[in-house]
A and B are shown apart, each in its own frame.
Chain A
Amino acid sequence: MDEKIKELEKQYNEVSIPKELDFVVENALKQGKKKRKKRAPQWLLGSAAAAMLFTAGLNVSPAMARTLSDIPVVGSVVKVLTWTEYKVADDSYDADIKVPSIENLDNKDLATTLNEKYRSEGKALYDDFIAEVGDLKAKGGGHLGVDSGYEVKTDNDQILSIGRYIVNTVGSSSTVMHYDTIDKKNDILITLPMLFKDDTYLKTISENIKEQMREQAAASNQEKVYWLKGAGLPDEEVSDEFTAVKADQQFYISNEGKLVISFDKYEVAPGYMGVVEFEIPTDVLKNDLVSSMYIH
């Protein structure tokens, strides 16, 4: 037999067998035996399906959720809980993904939509991570980390702002933020465009941010630097200059009712600046705002 086939076979057999294999196999055998003995796995499937329907029903059917929430258990306080957490802790691969869940929002459709989004994004993040680790391992190993979670930025009578972050670590790290801001009184999800009369806010906000960037750069003796001419860097080094905020720029509303615009790491500044935020003075915005209900 050819040496090379032998060598390939050796490689194939060198894949390490996880400790869990014994447990998984024994468990599967036990489960399998049970199902066979019952000789009627149908009812088992049936009850499992019923349990699933119940859980799915809670999430999918507003009617069912409402019926259940009518049963008084606890006061209806809007809460943000950790719904699930994915964890991987290996020598060179770490993942910690916390998936938030909004509870007790009167508008169940809104809560469901957001929670479903959080869950599917959390799951996708985890799946991607696992797939990437698999790839890396197959290619000889490496380091990979993902840390995702959430912070409640604002929680008062009117506003609930949740920020979810994803930090990817591959040598250096990148951070991405996603905010969701909810009007708790009216149960609506607030978007940036709906706060303003028309598109002029984009320009107003962008100009104010540029001003703030230049001020910060000057005040910090060029320690703070932004991708903008006159904001800490020589003009010729500014290649991808910040021009304007996007219509769907990430934002939240602070406890004091101020609009805060958030930029991901690297988006408008070098990596060491991290995620940067700008609070926009309400004075600057007042002509563009639809009302002073949220921002004041």
Chain B
Amino acid sequence: MKTRNAFQHEEVFVQLIREQKERFYLLAYSYTKNEQDALDVVQDSIQKAMLSLDRLENVEYMKSWFYKIVVRTSIDFLRKHKRLHVTDDDTLQYLTPAQEDIYENVDLEHALDELPIMYREVVILHYFEDLKLADVANILNIKLSTAKSRLYKALKLLKIQLEDVKGETAHG
């Protein structure tokens, strides 16, 4: 019985990965900020997931279960590689190629990148990956209330005023 479950799980899993691989890649990239590393994270996540596929009880949870694996693998990766590059403004200016000043969206340019990870991941999962706040909380292993407050803080940091927060109205 269990083997059959596992077999079905595998089919569903393969399909999910094939359909959504770009989404998972983007999520990994939002942590690693590097193509090669993001690919590594995707690869590791898939292999980890397949080894513990049998332990997944309900196929319905598969997507958020896999998001969770990607998030953890990404964070593990960052921890292992401790890539903190502190660059002073002068060097930055020197290294950054001369660009035409474009004023539209100037405050949005890189706004997301500059957000600390703990806020950025909430925004990405909730708004871009369309997940319910409860699922976001589960994926990030935090309480629902924490997820909510991080989302508000993130929006505040992004200086975005919303009439309504999507999570409250659209997802209930």
Contacts and interface: CB of A to CB of B under 8 A. Distances in A.
Interface of A: 1-2, 4-5, 7-9, 11-13, 15, 17-18, 20-22, 24-25, 27-29, 31-33, 35-36, 41, 127, 130-143, 170-171
Interface in B1-49: 6, 10, 14, 17-18, 21-22, 25-26, 29-30, 32-37, 39, 42-43, 46-47, 49
A31 B49 CA distance: 12
B112 interface: yes
Contacts of A11: 108, 112
B95 A142 contact: yes
Contacts of B35: 18, 134
Interface string B153-164: 000001011100
Interface stretch (B58-66, B121-129, B136-144): B121-129
A2 B169 CA distance: 14
A12 B43 contact: no
A12 B32 contact: no
A32 B21 contact: no
A33 to B, nearest CB: 7
Interface of B: 6, 10, 14, 17-18, 21-22, 25-26, 29-30, 32-37, 39, 42-43, 46-47, 49-51, 53, 81, 83, 85, 87, 92, 94-97, 99, 105, 108, 110-113, 123-124, 127-128, 158, 160-162, 166
Contact of A136 (B36, B95, B128): B95
A65 to B, nearest CB: 29
Interface of B is mostly: helix
A12 B128 contact: yes
Nearest to B36: A130
B42 A21 contact: yes
Contacts of B81: 127
A135 B47 contact: no
A18 B36 CA distance: 9
Given A12-B112, A143-B97, A36 B42 contact: no
Nearest to B22: A17
8 contacts: A4-B158, A7-B105, A8-B128, A28-B47, A33-B50, A35-B47, A127-B81, A135-B33
B105 A25 contact: no
A8 B158 contact: yes
A131 B85 contact: yes
Contacts of B21: 21-22, 25
Contact of B26 (A15, A28, A130, A138): A15
Contacts of B92: 139
A126 B73 CA distance: 22
Contacts of B94: 170-171
A16 to B, nearest CB: 8
Given A12-B128, A35-B51, A36-B50, A24 B39 contact: yes
Nearest to B108: A7
B34 A134 contact: yes
B76 to A, nearest CB: 17
A171 B93 CA distance: 12
A136 B21 CA distance: 25
